[in-house]
Chains A and B, each alone.
Chain A
Amino acid sequence: MKIAMPLHENRISPRFGNAREFLVVTTTDDRDTGRQTLTLDIETPVQIAECLAREGVDLVLSGGMNSKYQREFRLRNIAVIWGLIGEAEDVLATYLNGQVFAGMGPCPPVRNPRRSPGGAKRTDERLAAKKDSRRKPVS
């Protein structure tokens, strides 16, 4: 399986449409077996989706993504998980651990938050609770 992530420096680009660099990771049995970085100097959703489809990408792990892009990926049978935040490597590792699902907000857990107010469970605790209930990506 091939997973693509839009990059801003080393982090997942907050906005898919702003990213020109993509990390494409090939995985076998949920293990990272090869990677490459794509730099695309193209603009439209159609072009980007087409290009990633040509690369054989099956899944996009993304931050915010405008519906225009989502539609193009859906048309090409590429699954999308959006709403992810953090270092690309962390997001990938979390996904390969089976812990990422669509629209989940900040992920992976916040490092050194200034304060953890409101008694809300820290994201890592929440994720730990879900460790066994792996969810398949939702397209």
Chain B
Amino acid sequence: MKTKKETPQGREETTELILDSIADGVFTIDQGMRITTFNKAAEQITGYARREVVGQFCHDIFKADICFKMCPLKHTARTLESIVNMEVNILNRQNQEVPISISTSILKNHKGEVVGAVETFRDLSLIHELRKEISRQYTFQDIVSKSKAIAKLLNILPDVAQSDATVLIWGESGTGKELFATAIHNTSLRKKGPFVAVNCGALPETLLESELFGYKKGAFTDAKRDKPGRFKLAAGGTLFLDEIGDLSKGTQVKLLRVLEQREYEPLGSTSTEKADVRIVAASHQDLASLVQKGEFREDLFYRLNVMKLEIPPLRDRKEDLPLLVDHFFRKFTEKTGKPIRTISKRAMKRLLHYNYPGNVRELENVLEHAFVLCKGTEIKTSHLPENLAASKDRAALQEIGKASRLPELERQVILEALERYGWDRSQAARELGMHRSTLWRKIQRHGIRSP
């Protein structure tokens, strides 16, 4: 691109402009290893200004770990070979280590004589950080996760376990509440004692009471001998009360007494017994809202809520899916003896797009289903349960796609807005971005009636 007007100065300026517009750091050196050009990106990565570094030795500025051991520029000057994407660490002006990826090439003048070398470099700090982040795994006992939320839990778990405080685990069904409870027990001071689990939702009220507290011989018809309760069986260990939200009010009072006085009476007994147990309770329901509805005693709630662990649902930590799939693969290959090794990309994609109302347990069932149907070595979409394909988000998308469904969608949106604002039409209209009378017309058309 030569024009008559071009002068050496003009050309130099153009070169500088071009170099400065490149996102990678670029610098050149002469044959005495002194820096001759230094672009803007290089200034940003190293922290040095161009006027400071031009004329300096490159190793004085870059301070790379390889400088005097294996200088890439010297290597290029000697062998005329370029180096591409070599990872090195430099110290920037603030004395911080910066990982960079460098490429070098020889610099010749128009006569073909070597006049120096050029090096381009790219800041890898962000990439390194991301890579570290991705490969990080959090483990505690049998719990493996990549999720930040779980990591937070695992951080406090040892301290929680070491204390003797009552723990309340809250999480949707299938998130692994019992897994956390056993992990707490296994790392607590009571780990040599028994771990006894009771599902409070599984037994009717009266039966549950005799299960928990036990009974004395003759307490009721057919009580032919003493029966120790779960509190007694768990003595010196941990009692895990699952689905605590299903407890009847009567049992709640009795449990409260155990928590407060650390003692209880078996049915039909006249003497009290000491309760030497650590209680870990779990619920899939939000106990606070149960308290508000009057279905759960407030005092018991506060007694239980000493340490609260909230386990996030699987749909909020999809980053764990590959890890979990891997885990269940190992489990099922061992169990079934089938030579299944991999999962197809499309099948994995489908797994990732599903939102798992049943959480990890559902994922486990999905994979077990696939293992039963799969006859080859790879799990394909055809082996997955059908309800995965028709998952909710997809169905919603399809609905929007169909013009005939639009009125129905509109009706739904309006109804939701009205419900949100307690049937205040002005506010709902404002949120929907339409005039009040337009909203009123639409309400008439869709036949929406306030309850």
Task: For B63, give its contact among A64, A105, A117 (CB under 8 Å).
Answer: A64
Report B47-77 residues with CB < 8 Å from chain A CB: 48, 50-57, 59-65, 67-69
Give the shortest distance, in Å, between B428 (CB) and chain A (any CB).
Answer: 57
Determine if A2 is an interface residue (Cβ-Cβ < 8 Å).
no
Determine if B178 is an interface residue (Cβ-Cβ < 8 Å).
no
Task: For A85, give its contact among B30, B50, B56, B65 (CB under 8 Å).
Answer: B56
A114 — which chain B residues lie within 8 A by C-beta? 30, 34, 36, 54-55
B55 touches A110 (CB 8 A): yes
A17 — which chain B residues lie within 8 A by C-beta? 65
Given that A15-B65, A66-B97, A85-B60 are contacting pairs, would A113 and B91 also be in contact in the complex, using a CB cutoff of 8 Å?
Answer: no
Determine if B450 is an interface residue (Cβ-Cβ < 8 Å).
no
A86 — which chain B residues lie within 8 A by C-beta? 60
Determine if B270 is an interface residue (Cβ-Cβ < 8 Å).
no
Contact with B along A77-91 (1 / 0, CB 8 A): 000001101100000
CB closest chain-B residue, reference A102: B95
B67 touches A18 (CB 8 A): yes
CA distance A66 to B95 in the complex (A): 6
B60 touches A110 (CB 8 A): no
Give the shortest distance, in Å, between B332 (CB) and chain A (any CB).
Answer: 47
Task: For B67, give its contact among A14, A112, A115 (CB under 8 Å).
Answer: A14
CA distance A19 to B64 in the complex (A): 12
CA distance A17 to B63 in the complex (A): 10
CA distance A87 to B430 in the complex (A): 73
B65 — which chain A residues lie within 8 A by C-beta? 15, 17-18
Determine if B94 is an interface residue (Cβ-Cβ < 8 Å).
yes
Give the shortest distance, in Å, between A41 (CB) and chain B (any CB).
Answer: 16
How many contacting A-B pairs (Cβ < 8 A)? 70
Determine if A53 is an interface residue (Cβ-Cβ < 8 Å).
no
B55 touches A112 (CB 8 A): yes
B93 touches A105 (CB 8 A): yes
B95 touches A110 (CB 8 A): no
Contact with B along A5-48 (1 / 0, CB 8 A): 00010010011011000000000000000000000000000000
Determine if A120 is an interface residue (Cβ-Cβ < 8 Å).
yes
A105 — which chain B residues lie within 8 A by C-beta? 48, 52, 93
B91 touches A15 (CB 8 A): yes
Determine if A133 is an interface residue (Cβ-Cβ < 8 Å).
no
B95 touches A117 (CB 8 A): no
CA distance A5 to B34 in the complex (A): 23
A64 touches B91 (CB 8 A): yes
B94 touches A103 (CB 8 A): yes
Task: For B95, give its contact among A18, A82, A112 (CB under 8 Å).
Answer: A82
Give the shortest distance, in Å, between A80 (CB) and chain B (any CB).
Answer: 10
CA distance A4 to B60 in the complex (A): 18
A117 touches B51 (CB 8 A): yes
Give the shortest distance, in Å, between A66 (CB) and chain B (any CB).
Answer: 6
A103 touches B95 (CB 8 A): yes
CA distance A70 to B96 in the complex (A): 11
B61 — which chain A residues lie within 8 A by C-beta? 14, 85
Give the shortest distance, in Å, between B38 (CB) and chain A (any CB).
Answer: 11
Give the shortest distance, in Å, between A31 (CB) and chain B (any CB).
Answer: 28
Give the shortest distance, in Å, between B120 (CB) and chain A (any CB).
Answer: 20
A83 — which chain B residues lie within 8 A by C-beta? 93, 95
Contact with A along B11-52 (1 / 0, CB 8 A): 000000000000000000010001010000000000010111
B34 — which chain A residues lie within 8 A by C-beta? 114
Give the shortest distance, in Å, between A65 (CB) and chain B (any CB).
Answer: 6
Give the shortest distance, in Å, between B27 (CB) and chain A (any CB).
Answer: 13
B54 touches A115 (CB 8 A): yes
CA distance A112 to B55 in the complex (A): 8
B63 touches A63 (CB 8 A): yes
CA distance A118 to B61 in the complex (A): 19
A64 — which chain B residues lie within 8 A by C-beta? 63, 91, 95
Given that A83-B95, A103-B94, A106-B60 are contacting pairs, would A18 and B54 also be in contact in the complex, using a CB cutoff of 8 Å?
Answer: no
Give the shortest distance, in Å, between A48 (CB) and chain B (any CB).
Answer: 16
Contact with A along B275-319 (1 / 0, CB 8 A): 000000000000000000000000000000000000000000000
CA distance A17 to B48 in the complex (A): 21
B55 — which chain A residues lie within 8 A by C-beta? 110, 112-115
B36 — which chain A residues lie within 8 A by C-beta? 114
A15 touches B95 (CB 8 A): no
CA distance A17 to B94 in the complex (A): 16
CB closest chain-A residue, reference B35: A114
Nearest 7 interchain pairs by C-beta: A64-B91, A113-B55, A64-B63, A14-B63, A15-B63, A85-B60, A118-B51
Other than the known A15-B63, A18-B67, A67-B96, what 20 A-B pairs have Cβ atoms closer than 8 Å?
A: A8-B68, A14-B63, A15-B67, A63-B63, A64-B95, A65-B91, A65-B95, A66-B97, A67-B95, A70-B95, A85-B61, A103-B93, A103-B95, A106-B56, A113-B54, A113-B55, A114-B36, A117-B50, A117-B51, A117-B54
The contact sample of 8 A-B pairs, CB cut-off 8 A, is: A18-B65, A83-B93, A85-B60, A103-B93, A106-B52, A106-B53, A117-B50, A117-B54
- B positions within 8 Å CB-CB of A: 30, 34, 36, 48, 50-57, 59-65, 67-69, 91, 93-97
- A positions within 8 Å CB-CB of B: 8, 11, 14-15, 17-18, 63-67, 70, 82-83, 85-86, 103, 105-106, 110, 112-118, 120
